[in-house]
Amino acid sequence: MNPSPLVPFGVALAAAAGLAGPAAASVDTYLSVPVQGAIVKVDGVTGQATPFATGLGIPFYGFWTEAGKLYMPDRLFGAIFEIDEQGNLGLLTAGGLLSSVVTVAPAPGGGLVASDLPLNHVVHVAPNGTQTLIHDAVTSGGLLDGPGGLAYAPNGDLYVANNIGNTLVRIAPDGTISLFSASPLLAAPGGIAIDRSGNLFVGQYNTDRIVRFRLDTGEADVFAEDASLMVRPNDVKLARSGGLLTTTKLSNLVRIDALGQLTEEFKDVAYGEIVGVNTREDATPCSGSFVPYGAGTAGSGGHVPFLRGIFDPCPGHHIALEFGDFLGGTVGALFVGLQPASLPALGGTLLVSPGPGFAQVPLPYPGSGPGGADFRLPFTLGDNPAFVGLKLYLQAAAADAGAPGGVSLSNGLEETIGS
């Protein structure tokens, strides 16, 4: 794939699909501040920071539950705390298999999963605090090497970032562990976030980058980088209010949109390094998804174009379509329909039904040459609950003399708008 400038074509798609333009978010965030041994609440409207929970040692990457509990690992005390809505601390578990807990994340079957970096432990913790080893350095065959960030994929696979080993590993629901990636883009990976569209985002603590991996192919690329706003990104969270949230060495909180563009939402050097970030709205993940289907038709140079989604489609969400490996400098269209299809057409296969509800959105393709058009089309879904449950079927086409029938086609993409 040949990178080219990212182009915001959202206006055209919004007009065709009845969607709204980008919207700003204003939700409270809860930041882990080790220098104070505290969690600080930043008001989403005023931007003012106030103490929320104190008495911690080194709070790190936690998460909120729907029941209004914030679970927070503490690297200094080797403990996991349960913090209520008023900021009162309760101890869930300490010691045992845990000595310096970096991350806790909700486990699909209940309880939570925790990583302990110096012990090379990944541990399940039941609601009553009972600890059960999932893997360590020995049982993993050496694949765990300083485990830090944790996140579950929709299929139940657990992904673990090795902060020391510079790898990502995958643990299947049956406990089978395997190497997912040893990409050279991994540089002391920290927090992980996984959307329902096949993307894994991980902060690189030794650089100023967020790297994105495709779960289906393992492909890695730099999703965002900014040496002025994002030095040593730490925690990474997928935010219902839009894009990604990350904390950095610069004592700040940064939001990253689907184009990889950064907005600094909070900064106070008096707090020192801000480590973790959580928002209560994210306790209920969006159930929407983008799922590829079918196969595309190759164009010039043998490049088979692709169409993928970024982030999760729910009412009010900031998301994007990602186009890749098309002929640069040509024109084409995005097909949008209400049913899938598999029809011989345009020298390939039309994967969107041309029946009722079908629309074509004209698109210019940037870049130049075979495979040279790679871009993202960002938009924000209208904040209307009537969209929930709607399925849209998408396919992209481009005029290309090197393709059968003179048109190259992407795979199909099923978009399910969730809640």
297 DSSP assignment: B
How high does pLDDT run on average in the chain? 93
Backbone angles phi, psi at 281, to 5 degrees: -65, -25
One of 2.130.10.10, 1.10.3470.10, 1.10.599.10, 2.40.170.20 is the CATH number of 29-278, namely 2.130.10.10
CB 305 within 8 A of CB 326: yes
For the stretch 71-82, pLDDT in tens is: 999 999 999 999
Structural tokens at position 408: 């190259």
What pLDDT was estimated at residue 21? 41
107 pLDDT exceeds 50? yes
Strands 158-162 and 167-171: antiparallel
CB 321 within 8 A of CB 377: yes
The helix or strand, by DSSP H or E, that contains position 127, with its residue range, turns out to be none
Rg for the chain, CA atoms, rounded:
22
Cα 38 to Cα 83, 87, 90, 232, 378, distances in angstroms: 11, 10, 14, 21, 36
Domain map (residue ranges) of the chain: 10-21+288-416, 29-278
CB atoms near residue 89 (< 10 Å): 17
For the stretch 291-339, pLDDT in tens is: 999 999 999 999 999 999 999 999 988 899 999 999 999 999 999 999 9
Lowest mean pLDDT among 4-13, 25-34, 58-67, 177-186: 4-13
Residues 6+ apart with CB under 8 A from 69: 82, 83, 84
What pLDDT was estimated at residue 251? 97
> Hey, what long-range contacts does 252-257 have (CB within 8 A, 24 or more apart)?
253/29, 253/31, 253/42, 253/277, 254/229, 254/230, 255/25, 256/210, 256/223, 256/224, 257/22, 257/318, 257/378
Query: Percentage of the chain with pLDDT > 70?
Result: 94
Structural tokens at position 286: 């969006």
19 pLDDT exceeds 60? no
Residue 14: pLDDT band (50, 70, 90) is: very low
Q: Give this prediction's pTM.
A: 0.93
Helix (H, G, I), strand (E, B) or coil at 387: helix
What pLDDT was estimated at residue 1? 35
Structural tokens at position 131: 């600890």
Report the top-level CATH class of 10-21+288-416: mainly beta
Structural tokens at position 385: 């609950």
Q: Rounded CA gap, 221 and 218, in Å?
A: 10
Structural tokens at position 24: 């700003």
CB 271 within 8 A of CB 36: yes
Q: Rounded CA gap, 192 and 105, in Å?
A: 10
Chain centroid to CA 219: 15
